Amino acid sequence: MRLTELSERSGVSIATIKYYLREGLLAPGRRIGATTAEYGEDHLRRLRLVRALIQEGRVPVATAREVLGHIDNDSLGRTIRLGAALWALPQEPEPDEDDPAVRAARREVDRVLEALGWETARELSTLSPLHRSLVVAVATLIRLGYPVDAELMEPYAELMHRAAVRDLDSMETYPSEKEQVEAAVVGAVLFEPVLKALHRLAQEEESARRYGIE
């Protein structure tokens, strides 16, 4: 397809596509003339991913480039490739380890990971921005007087594990590892708000069932 068709099918303007090409977010098309190139389905899929990251997810261009670099790195195993791409997304800043709430939160997070037998999460705890985000969130609750401990987190973590199983089952329906990791990144950026909204709707529904709506 030509650039015009790529723009029409993707919903991304020609000017924006050219910007993504200049920034290295989209591979050049196959040259068929001095000023003309042809693009394929791979370009369309990548353009949708770039749009999800930058236009919808508000991910900075430099960060999007890093995420895409991990997705394209065929030398990585699937778990490392997926983890590297997700870790490259915007994350929480480093917590203040002198903060008593942070120390308490880290203890409770470590306790729940141990109780669940999540060995990979425990081994990567000093490196993982996902672990850091959890510690920061729990610390904030503790600091504001809403204590969260391992016992409270454990059933929620088990529900999240079930969601993760469903995520990977869905991811594995894509034909290549690259497309699978792309799907996981899109899920992290665009599908997590769906889960958040479903959670709140479920709370509304359960409240109405227990207490009525009058």
3-state secondary structure of 37: strand
Amino acid 117: pLDDT: 96
Task: Enter the tokens of residue 110.
Answer: 């470590």
Residue 17 CB burial class (10 angstroms; 0-12, 13-18, ≥19): buried
**What is the architecture, at CATH level 2, of domain 3-81?**
Orthogonal Bundle (1.10)
Question: How large is the average pLDDT for residues 74-82?
Answer: 88
Amino acid 50: pLDDT: 93
Residue 65 CB burial class (10 angstroms; 0-12, 13-18, ≥19): middle
pLDDT tens for residues 114-145? 999 999 999 988 888 999 999 999 999 999 99
User: Residue 76 pLDDT more than 90?
Assistant: no
What are the sequence ranges of the domains in the chain? Answer: 3-81, 100-211
Rounded Cα gap, residues 150 and 108, in angstroms:
5
pTM: 0.83
Three-point CA angle 35, 36, 42, nearest 5°: 140
C-beta separation of 71 from 186 below 8 A: no
pLDDT tens for residues 140-190? 999 999 989 999 999 999 999 999 999 999 999 999 999 999 999 998 888
